[in-house]
């Protein structure tokens, strides 16, 4: 095995380093976060840092990059308190990737890139019509991480939209069947293939 020292890594070109470090944590779920500005402009952002924080109460978090890199989604979430998370599938991942581009806040990203917004009663944030697994979160807390100017954005689950046929007898959601993709590094997209489910581990 080749040894990579932190000194060597620190001296790499910035995108090379970002790709390398981003790959280290492995394949990640990849979703579009849907928000709306206080002026009413809908927005989407690609996010691969979504993490389960707890099931009761149902809390889900993601890491928002520093404001200079990713300003709009976090602004909309803090202004409106509501957002959606929409799984990405192979049917639309190339379009979905385009939502990582830095559009001005007044641009309607749905119209510009071409995925379709859909709305559910009583929920102001837009969903992605093309996505087979999506849910609505209400902002609980934005935790600033002083060390690198990122934010841990925590939301409480409010509602879930998916086909009942994806849900197995014990509540397990078959995301392979849904076609939910994974991402690796800055720009790699992959399929998930289940190998096996195992029984609850006991000592
Ligand atoms: C595969 C992939 C994963 C990404 N994951 C994140 C993420 O977890 N958090 C984040 O803030 N930005 C992430 N980004 C970058 C945002 O999509 C990008 O900065 C976007 O322009 C933010 O939009 P906003 O200004 O609406 O917040 C990711 C981009 C790609 C392509």
| Three-point CA angle 161, 163, 165, nearest 5° | 145
Instruction: Say how many Å lie between the CA of residue 28 and the centre of ligand 1.
Output: 13
Q: Strand pairing partners for 143?
A: 152
Q: Which residues of the chain have pLDDT under 70?
A: none
In the chain, the domains with their CATH numbers are 28-190 (2.30.110.10)
Separation of alpha carbons 16 and 148, rounded Å: 19
Separation of alpha carbons 60 and 149, rounded Å: 20
What pLDDT was estimated at residue 194?
A: 96
What pLDDT was estimated at residue 4?
A: 98
CB atoms within 10 A of CB 18: 13
Instruction: Say how many Å lie between the CA of residue 12 and the centre of ligand 1.
Output: 22
Instruction: Write out the H or E segment, with its range, that includes residue 8.
Output: helix 6-10
**Ligand 1 pocket: which residues have CB below 6 Å?**
30, 43, 45-49, 62-65, 69-73, 97, 100, 102, 183, 187
Q: In what order do the strands lie in the sheet with 51-55?
A: 42-47, 31-36, 82-87, 133-145, 150-162, 58-64, 51-55
What pLDDT was estimated at residue 2?
A: 98
What pLDDT was estimated at residue 39?
A: 96
| Three-point CA angle 60, 65, 67, nearest 5° | 120
Residue among 44, 66, 56, 40 at smallest CA distance from 134? 44
What pLDDT was estimated at residue 19?
A: 97
80-122 residue pLDDT tens: 999 999 999 999 999 999 999 999 999 999 999 999 999 999 9
Instruction: Write out the H or E segment, with its range, that includes residue 80.
Output: helix 72-80
């Amino acid at each position: 095995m080749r040894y990579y020292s932190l000194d060597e890594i620190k001296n790499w070109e910035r995108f090379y380093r970002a790709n390398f470090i981003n790959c280290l944590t492995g394949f990640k779920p990849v979703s579009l976060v849907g928000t709306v500005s206080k002026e009413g402009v809908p927005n989407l952002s690609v996010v691969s840092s979504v993490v389960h924080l707890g099931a009761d109460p149902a809390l889900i978090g993601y890491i928002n990059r520093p404001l200079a890199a990713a300003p709009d989604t976090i602004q909309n979430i803090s202004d409106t308190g509501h957002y959606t998370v929409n799984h990405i599938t192979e049917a639309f991942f190339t379009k979905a990737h385009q939502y990582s581009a830095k559009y001005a806040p007044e641009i309607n990203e749905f119209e510009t890139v071409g995925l379709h917004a859909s709305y559910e009663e009583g929920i102001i944030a837009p969903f992605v019509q093309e996505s087979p697994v999506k849910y609505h979160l209400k902002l609980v807390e934005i935790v600033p991480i002083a060390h690198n100017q990122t934010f841990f954005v925590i939301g409480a689950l409010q509602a879930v939209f998916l086909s009942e046929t994806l849900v197995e007898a014990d509540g397990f959601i078959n995301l392979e069947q849904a076609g939910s993709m994974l991402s690796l590094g800055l720009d790699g997209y992959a399929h998930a293939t289940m190998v096996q489910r195992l029984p609850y581990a006991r000592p």
